[in-house]
Chain A
Amino acid sequence: MPHLRPLLSQLTRAIGRHSAEVELKWMKGTLDNPPSGIRQSCRSLEEMVARRAAGEPLQYILGSQPFGPLELAVRPPVLIPRPETEDWTMRLAETLTPSPSRPAKILDLCTGTGCIPLLLCHLWPAGSIHATAIDISPDAIQLAKENAVLCGITAYGDASTQPLTTPQAKNTFMPILADLLHPEFITQARLEPPYDLITSNPPYIPQAEYDALPASVKDYEDIQALLGDSPSPHASGAPAEDRTKGLTFYHRIAALVGGHGLLRAGGTLALEVGAGQAPAVAAIVQAKAGVDKIDVWKDPWGKERVVVARR
């Protein structure tokens, strides 16, 4: 494969030898065997390498990202699912055991590609889960719908199109466009609490860290999916000292769970957090969400990554 050599050197200069070798292989693999149902944005290896060398994330170039056994479509600016999220979602799927006789109603906030609820829908038995997925971005909601189709999960546009009697043997997924920080969020999102499981990977990067992010993240992925300091902090109810720590959304979620009975007694709340945020988020959840058992799960790299609480 002599023509690969200049491409490999070009890529090596941009991302280093080791990454260049594996990524070139994956690019070639995607061109040779494009995943079915995912629109390809690149026609040639040269184009892929040029875009990668310019700093674009590999996942956007390939148009897909594996998530557990699923292959999800990804495209700018919707947040690319991370391996940390994949890991804890798999773990969550093994921790809880819903069944068609006791189906779980779940709510995923800031769903992005829909990765968390779609993976749960895929892993749990048919008819055991009905998921509602919220995002503020129309791009994300559109992509989540497409991903549901890709994964063979029955998706409903909104509650009114959902049949009165859902067929027992199916897991369902309903993506809804709504603003979590909006004062009327619960009505806007047409939520029907209580839920058995609430999951979220909300934006959690503080402004100061956001400014220092690598270009492949900052220049390509939606700031709304990353920045945890809200421009309208009043809506979250976050105290002034927490507004620059990327914690805005945790205050909001904890307040919603505690104040509006979003979580069923015995239900589970799982929140992904940024490096070093777990103690603060555990405290917020403890104070506002009305939960008692709080655990912190580490990710495969040893970082505290998820705050898991039970009511």
Chain B
Amino acid sequence: MFRPALRQLRLSRAFTTTRTALAQVQAQRQATYALKVEDAPIVQYVKRRVEERRKLQSEISDDALSDEDIQKVRKIRELEPLQDAWTEWKHAKESLEETLPLLNDPDPTMRSMAEEEYASLSDNMTQMVENTFPSLLVPPSDTAHLSAIIELRAGVGGSESALFTADLVRMYTRTAQSQGWTATMLGSNVLETGGMRDAIMEVKGEGAYDALRWESGVHRVQRVPATETNGRVHTSTVSAMVLPLLEEKGSNNEDDDLFTMDEVKVEVMRSRGAGGQHVNKTESAVRLTHIPTGITVSMQDERSQHQNKRRAFQVLRARLMDRKLNQEMIDRRDLRRSLVRSADRSEKIRTYNYAQDRVTDHRLGMSVKNLDSVMEGDGLQDFLKALQQRHHDELLEDVLSERS
């Protein structure tokens, strides 16, 4: 269901690229292409919505507004930007139709002017199909303002997997820097043999969650480990989980809409004996348990118990928010038979192949040669952009299939 629309988009794109080689003999065929853009599902959809709006306008009574009318007025107002875009589209299309006969004009000057006019109009129409309509149809992301928490956990592959966990920490730190976000390590278990058993980092900045959320899943590395003496290539995995980070509350003791304080058991770890003045050993580890879900969060990286508790609550909030968003996505999908997928955390999403100097994203079917640019530079951004575009396309496809 998703493919035909893309094909349509590609079709319109092909149509613009050939316009420079416009020849008289091709003119007629070109013209039929241009008019065919009108059949694109997105154009049909916009047309339906605009007709719907006109119908609503005709239904509204002239005098006193009923509650139902107020609903309709709101709907009409919501659809106004789409109406404006549609009007523009119609004008462009009319002009295009007027230009068509002139492409065959015997006067060469006239013909060349018509060709220019035709090119600019068709450009404009393509632009509308590819950008203007989709941006008006896909609802703005309600997580656009959120920062992110990235949790990484070494998987199969032992110490090599731990080494790659540390490599991924560096990759995300670089990416954060190049995007103007701030990355902070919240906690990690560093191994004596090098690498990390797990790591949890905070990436603060506008759009961080929306850009990074598709990093959730299993990352696979194929390389000869530093510790391998026989030069054999090993395959190891690291699992990543990206959570939405909410603005911090002033106090840990305030309830919020994700949980109440009664539902959270706060435990300090390790006995302090008599405690107080008798003991000056630092024991700052904290564990939270969210009783209804059984989610536990432990933090021990800070010397301050207060800080550990603050961070643990931050992570708990992020995990609960993640659950909530995921559930909402599932509900929405069930409700509308939506095509938008929720992240499958056990899915193998990407392979980093050192021997072949290549990073492949299995969901996109996209490979980047030059692994170093991904691990050490800003190459990851190409994947992040493509994944966001994919999500956007899915949302659009979802909207288009909604009522057809």
Contacts and interface: CB of A to CB of B under 8 A. Distances in A.
Interface of A: 1, 5, 8, 15, 19, 22-23, 25-26, 57-59, 65-69, 79-80, 82-87, 90, 94, 201, 203-205, 209, 213-214, 216-217, 220-221, 225-226, 272-275, 299-301, 303, 305
A79 B276 CA distance: 11
A57 B280 CA distance: 7
Nearest to A276: B274
30 contacts: A15-B281, A57-B280, A66-B307, A67-B304, A82-B275, A82-B276, A82-B277, A83-B268, A83-B284, A83-B305, A86-B304, A86-B305, A87-B305, A204-B277, A209-B274, A214-B280, A214-B281, A216-B281, A217-B277, A217-B278, A217-B279, A220-B280, A226-B277, A274-B277, A299-B276, A300-B266, A300-B268, A300-B305, A301-B271, A305-B275
Closest 5 interchain pairs by CB? A66-B304, A275-B274, A300-B268, A57-B280, A83-B305
Given A23-B282, A83-B268, A83-B284, 11 more contacts: A22-B282, A22-B301, A68-B306, A86-B304, A90-B306, A209-B278, A225-B277, A273-B276, A274-B277, A274-B278, A303-B276
Interface string B285-321: 0000000000000001111111100000000000000
A13 to B, nearest CB: 15
A8 B192 contact: yes
B148 to A, nearest CB: 24
Nearest to A246: B277
Main SS class of interface, B: loop
A58 B303 CA distance: 10
Contacts of B278: 205, 209, 213, 217, 274-275
A84 B282 CA distance: 11
A275 B279 CA distance: 11
A83 B283 contact: yes
A30 B250 CA distance: 27
B229 interface: no
A5 B194 CA distance: 11
Contacts of B266: 300
A68 B274 CA distance: 22
A225 B303 CA distance: 23
B17 interface: no
Contacts of A300: 266, 268, 305
B36 interface: no
